[in-house]
Amino acid sequence: MSNSYFFSVRAAERITSKRVKRVSLWRNGAVLVHFKNGKINTIDPLNFQRDFVDFRQRQSREILLSRITPTLYACKSAAYEKVYSVVIEPERLRCSCKDWEIQLEEGLQRPCCKHCYAVLRDLGCSSLQDYLKLPF
């Protein structure tokens, strides 16, 4: 997985509520955050994982959904005109957006973007794990 995608400056700023210059990942798994004020601190990698999910779940609340078929949704942001499709599959949800594609390229077996989280909520699931427990 790419460090820059999951351990990003923006994520570190959301986690710390401070201005961040850069983020670096050490071989031992420690995440060093270099702040714009010159200080350096470590952040638990689990905080980045939580932020990765929480950030997308928060963004998903702005998505307008239209169920086209039992297994296909059209998803539109309230702020943008672009419409993305989310396909419901037994083992995952598949979206046409760039975030979903990047997550797949980065090695995630079950990517989940804000559009997928919006569909999950419409299906009555609070997480991808809840969805995977549903009988098909």
- Over residues 60-79, the mean pLDDT reads 94
pLDDT digits (tens, 9 = 90+) for 12-47: 999 999 999 999 988 888 899 999 999 999 999 999
Does residue 44 contact residue 33 with C-beta atoms inside 8 Å? no
Q: pTM, whole model, 2 decimals?
A: 0.85
Residue-level pLDDT at 127: 82
pLDDT digits (tens, 9 = 90+) for 96-128: 999 999 999 998 889 999 999 999 999 999 888
Residue-level pLDDT at 1: 47
Residue-level pLDDT at 2: 54
Residue-level pLDDT at 4: 65
Range with lowest mean pLDDT among 34-43, 79-88, 126-135: 126-135
**Exposure of 131 by Cβ count < 10 A (0-12 exposed, 13-18 middle, 19+ buried)?**
buried
Burial 110-120 (b: 16+ CB within 10 A, else e): bbbbbbbbbbb
C-alpha 55/C-alpha 67 separation (Å) is: 24
pLDDT digits (tens, 9 = 90+) for 44-66: 999 999 999 999 999 999 999 99
Each domain of the chain, given as residue ranges in start order, spans 3-52, 61-132
